[in-house]
Amino acid sequence: MLLKAKKLAFLGLLLACAVLLVIFSGIFDFNTLFLLAGASFCVGIAIREEGFRLGIGFFIACTILSLMLAPNKFYCFTFAAMGLYLIIIELSWGRLINIKQNFNRKTLYWIIKFVTFNIIYIPIIIVTPKLIYQGELVVRSGLFVAFLLGGQIVLLIYDKAYNYFQQSIWGKVRKHLL
């Protein structure tokens, strides 16, 4: 067997939790982003606990299962964008740790985070602005600029929440589960 039973059981339960959070985001509209962020944090847990390959497989399985089961498919795309962002930053941090040259890794890491977020976020607000805003969003308007700046603030909040979750909450819970 390729995977050990404990890893398979852990990833299966984590997958169920992530998909349930995506489904609940479509049911409870007042907590949509919170629930989608929680579901994407499961992708980060899978990557940190079981490695990058299994984390990618987990992300793909979670995205496909969410698309099949979730009532609102737009939320699945938002979850996929958040999960993709976490995959890229986890991969970049893993690569930066192995570099032995003397430079400021944290600054480079934040540049990678910023560029990654904007590569994902800007096409979303240009091509499919209905994922974020129900009204009309013209590219050369003040509202568009407000959404660009607001997205950067959301990046900071999301990143702080992810780091807090990984260090404080998951750090305490994982002792009892693994």
pLDDT tens per residue across span 83-142: 999 999 999 988 887 777 767 788 888 999 999 999 999 888 888 777 777 777 777 778
* pTM summary value: 0.87
Within-domain flag for 2 = no
Report how far residue 106's alpha carbon sits from residue 114's, in angstroms, rounded to the nearest whole number: 12
CA end-to-end span of the chain: 20
3: helix, strand or coil: coil
- Closest of 8, 87, 82 to residue 38, by C-alpha: 82
Total domains in the chain come to 1
Predicted pLDDT at 3: 61
Q: Is 20 exposed, middle or buried (0-12, 13-18, 19+ CB in 10 A)?
A: middle
Q: Is 74 exposed, middle or buried (0-12, 13-18, 19+ CB in 10 A)?
A: middle
The mean of the pLDDT values for the chain is 87
Within-domain flag for 24 = yes
The answer to whether the CB of 96 falls within 8 A of the CB of 109 is: yes
Within-domain flag for 166 = yes
Within-domain flag for 1 = no
Within-domain flag for 127 = yes
Within-domain flag for 77 = yes
Within-domain flag for 141 = yes
